[in-house]
Structure 1
Amino acid sequence: MKKLNGHNLKPLQGQRMLSPSVLLELYDEPVSFHRSFVELGGGVTAALFLSCACHEASQLPPDSDGWLRLSTEQWREATCLSRTEQETARRALRDRGLIEERRVGMPARLEIRVDVARLVELLQSQAARKYEGLEQIDYSAGAGG
């Protein structure tokens, strides 16, 4: 039986084997997001956009101002979201105070910055609700008890 990246290429009963190009398409790089951002952002689309924005921000030089200067097409490449899906996600994140936006230059170019303090605040609140009582455990005694 043939394999690609550890996956069996056995055709389904009654089906012919998938072509190499279909397999490459099937095993293309996945798009992922932080599950905890779904509730924070108001849905999967916003969670995906916020996850990507956090990743992009983490790649900025330490002395940067935090503004992301990606075009709509670059965001589409990173997230697979259409322009309207990006706009909807950004609106939801903006309404929750998770991102800031500004237009700069001529012609105007959209820049986005994650409000990390707000993100941490909402994550802490969400975690406190989800894992109620966990914060009351005294971890200072160490593993030796």
Structure 2
Amino acid sequence: MNPRAQDLGITPALLLDVFDTPVTFHRCLVPVSGGVNAALLLSHAIWTTQALDGEADGWFLKSQEQWSEETGLSRWEQETARRALRDAGLLEERRVGMPARLWFRVRASAVWAALKAQAARSAR
């Protein structure tokens, strides 16, 4: 390692921690979801849905802490993004169990319809 980097306290362990797994999202979701944070949350929800088995019917469980760890969004950013996605009809939520836990489902047909409508607007 470069001696100057070591003088600055930059270690291999620090670099691995700083350059953790990148968070990516589908840019095309920004105009249909209500903003970058909503697009990030929706992209991650779509990615999560792809790993589900058929019996889940698209529903998945994710805590606020998991959303934060996986996307970097704060509690308030998550709540605002979730509200925008619900209002746009792109994400469903339900509370199940005791204590109640929040489950999510992407409305894939609504996402597809919104993307088609956005493409038609862009083509004009």
Bin for the TM-score computed over the shorter chain: 0.7 to 0.9
Report matched runs for 1:10-89 at 5 Å: 16=8, 18-89=10-81
**Deviation (angstroms), 1:19:** 2.0
Structure showing the higher helix proportion among its residues: 2
Contact preservation (8 Å) 1:103, 1:109: yes
Q: 1:10 to 1:98 in 2, by over 3 A?
A: farther
Which of the residues 79, 94, 105 maps onto 1:102? 94
CA distance in 2, matches of 1:11, 1:54: 43
* Displaced runs of 4 or more, over 4 A: 9-12
Q: Residue 118 of structure 2 corresponds to which residue in structure 1?
A: 126
CA distance in 1, matches of 2:74, 2:52: 24
Tell which has more relative contact order, 1 or 2 (C-alpha 8 A, sep 6+). 2
Q: Deviations over 1:28-83 (max 9, x none)?
A: 11000000111111111101000000000111012321111111111112111121
Name the larger-Rg structure: 1
Figure out how many residues of one structure are paired with residues of the other and give that number: 123
**Deviation (angstroms), 1:84:** 1.5
User: Which sections of structure 1, spanning at least 5 residues, go unmatched?
Assistant: 3-8, 133-145
Q: State the secondary structure of the residue aligned to 1:92.
A: helix
User: Which sections of structure 2, spanning at least 5 residues, go unmatched?
Assistant: none
Contact preservation (8 Å) 1:10, 1:17: no
Q: Deviations over 1:75-104 (max 9, x none)?
A: 112111121111111001001000111111
Give the aligned residue type for 2:102: L
- Identity over aligned pairs, percent: 51
